[in-house]
Amino acid sequence: MKMITLILTSFALAIIVTYLVKLSYRRYQFLRKLKGLPGPKAYPIVGDSLEMLYLKRNELMKMNSEKRELYKSIYLEWSGPFAEIHLLRPEYVEVALKSTVNITKSMAYDFLHDWLGTGLLTSSGRKWQERRKMITPAFHFGILEDFVEIFGEKSRTLVEILKKQKFGEEFDIYPMITNCALDIICESAMGTTVNAQEKKDSDYVRAVYEVSELILYRALRPWLYAEFIWKMSSHGKAFYRNLKTLHDFTNKVIVERREATSKKCSLNESDDGVGKKKAFLDLLLEATENGHELSQADIREEVDTFMFEGHDTTAASIGWAIFLLGNNPEVQDRVVEELNDIFGDSDRLATIHDLNDMKYLEMVIKETLRLYPSVPFIGRLVTEDMVVGEHLIPAGVWVNIELFSVHRCRDHYSDPEKFNPDNFLPENTKSRHPFAYVPFSAGPRNCIGQKFALLEEKTILSSILRKFRVESTEKQEDICLMMDLVLRPESGVKIKMYPREQ
């Protein structure tokens, strides 16, 4: 009996030792592939992540800029035992973004799963491919045209609110822009109104802001990454309480919309192209995946994804554009001249044809997104070895695609920190590397809603500038960049506003 026990124990130990040897050898091979990459000094277990624990949120972007100047093109960091490679140049970013294999998002996106499930933003593999194919028609130009009226109506509400400000006195326009963007996305995505601009006590609006803030709070505190610890914490409990508000609201709208659609079908009714416009939700209700109707959960995660991606990012871009125009009156005057050519003395809402004619304003928006991309970093998990320049990036590495740094490459932009819409004149873009400007990502996982965003931004900005002259009270060199779920100015967008002469 003792002999059998001894044999079994020896056998078990042999298996364990063999496994550990294989594991160690794989780790050795992994580290060997990373050997030639530059980066800060790393320590066992903790890597080089200790410095992050002592940084304030408003210091993260400054630290990132310092590393860009130090390493120029690529560098390696260790978050504990996890390797993260930062790509800072267009030709390196091109390899990562064009890959049809390495499309899995990084661990940072895991914090969004409770809210968004595995919708288009967070899913990967076959599910992502099927959803992308299914949802793409919802962003067809003809459908986007229906949304332009919503953009105009909500922008007009924003203008009426801005008229109540005291002209010549400083105020923060950023919250007002955010509420306008939230109104637009709610009506476009769900076909329902929350009146974020006029109604100050909406549970849904409050929950959107709370959940967004709590996701960031968790992301910056590694000890809250474990699910059971997060759920027991006071912040975690607040997160799930607000999350229930969001999901209950979306579920209610979906049920009501589905019942209304079924009733219409049973009565054989039709809109005949007149009257009620279709929201993104309606298009999802009509869509099928592999011949099957999408479930309640399927639809909710896509609507929630559209809500999440479609309001904060757009608001940030518009806010930065206002800030830059307020600091560059000569550029603002050129935009207004273009708007006067389009609208004359008319007070009408912009049509899609008007928006397409706003060529210079589009250059302003592009230059804004070059300097301040709403999402300055994109994270991917490398699932298959890939070669970037002279470097082999092995499977198992997290890649951080730094759009903020890529947009500041000196060999593509002669004065990268200067706001210059002429960077996007045709003669200046034709010879530039195609991945030197990628605010909406690129390749197979590029942003599906970028045309929607551009039309919305043009509508809101043109509505404001037709009525008001804006003057920024802070300079570009003095602004502190804050990395939240989007890139924003820490102090908001402080401006003075004056009525534009008719």
The answer, yes or no, to whether residue 67 has pLDDT greater than 60, is: yes
| CA distance linking residue 499 with residue 318, whole number of Å | 19
Considering the entire predicted model, what is its pTM? Answer: 0.89
Nearest to 254 by CA among 206, 217, 306, 215: 306
What's the CATH code, domain 49-499?
Answer: 1.10.630.10
Q: Tokens for 453? A: 């965003």
Question: What confidence tens digit (pLDDT) does each residue in 49-59 have?
Answer: 666 667 777 88
Residue 306 near residue 284, CB atoms below 8 Å: no
Nearest to 64 by CA among 75, 78, 80, 53: 75
The answer, yes or no, to whether residue 17 has pLDDT greater than 90, is: no
| CA distance linking residue 255 with residue 297, whole number of Å | 11
Q: Tokens for 226? A: 């474990």
447 among annotated binding-site residues? yes
Q: In the structure, what pLDDT confidence band is assigned to residue 106 with cuts at 50, 70 and 90?
A: confident
Of 89-103, 118-132, 133-147, 283-297, give the range with the top mean pLDDT. Answer: 89-103
Question: What confidence tens digit (pLDDT) does each residue in 173-199 have?
Answer: 999 999 999 999 989 888 888 888 887
333 vs 445: which has the higher pLDDT: 333
pLDDT (0 to 100) of residue 152: 95
pLDDT (0 to 100) of residue 275: 44
Percent of the chain's residues with pLDDT above 70: 90
Task: Say which range, 111-125, 143-157, 418-432, has the weakest mean pLDDT.
Answer: 111-125
Question: What confidence tens digit (pLDDT) does each residue in 196-233 have?
Answer: 888 777 788 888 889 988 988 888 787 888 899 999 99
Q: How many residues does the chain have?
A: 502
Task: Say which range, 190-199, 218-227, 290-299, 319-328, has the weakest mean pLDDT.
Answer: 290-299
| CA distance linking residue 284 with residue 121, whole number of Å | 16
pLDDT (0 to 100) of residue 484: 80
31 vs 60: which has the higher pLDDT: 60
- 323-330: average pLDDT: 98
Question: What confidence tens digit (pLDDT) does each residue in 242-271 have?
Answer: 999 999 999 988 888 888 776 665 555 555
Question: What confidence tens digit (pLDDT) does each residue in 385-443 have?
Answer: 999 988 989 988 999 999 999 999 999 998 999 999 999 999 999 999 999 999 999 99
Average pLDDT value over all residues in the chain: 87
pLDDT (0 to 100) of residue 291: 62
